[in-house]
Amino acid sequence: MFADLGIPVFDADAAVHKLYEHGGAAVGLIAEAYPGCVKDGAVDRSALAARVASDAEGLVRLEKIVHPLVALEQNLFLDMAKAAGSDMVILDIPLLFETGGGARLDAVVVVSAPQGLQRSRVLSRPGMTPEKLDHILARQMPDAEKRAQAHFVVETDKGFDHARAQVENIVATLRRRRR
What is the set of domains in the chain, with CATH numbers? Answer: 13-86 (no CATH), 94-179 (3.40.50.300)
Question: Which residue positions in the chain have pLDDT lower than 50?
Answer: none
| Range list of H helices, the chain | 12-20, 27-33, 45-53, 58-83, 115-123, 130-139, 143-149, 160-178
Q: pLDDT tens, 9-50? A: 999 999 999 999 999 999 999 999 999 999 999 999 999 988
- Put residue 11 in one of left, alpha, beta given phi > 0 → left and psi -120 to 50 → alpha: beta
Which pLDDT score is estimated for 36?
94
CB distance 2 to 167 below 8 Å: yes
The SS3 of residue 49 is helix
pLDDT value of residue 35: 94
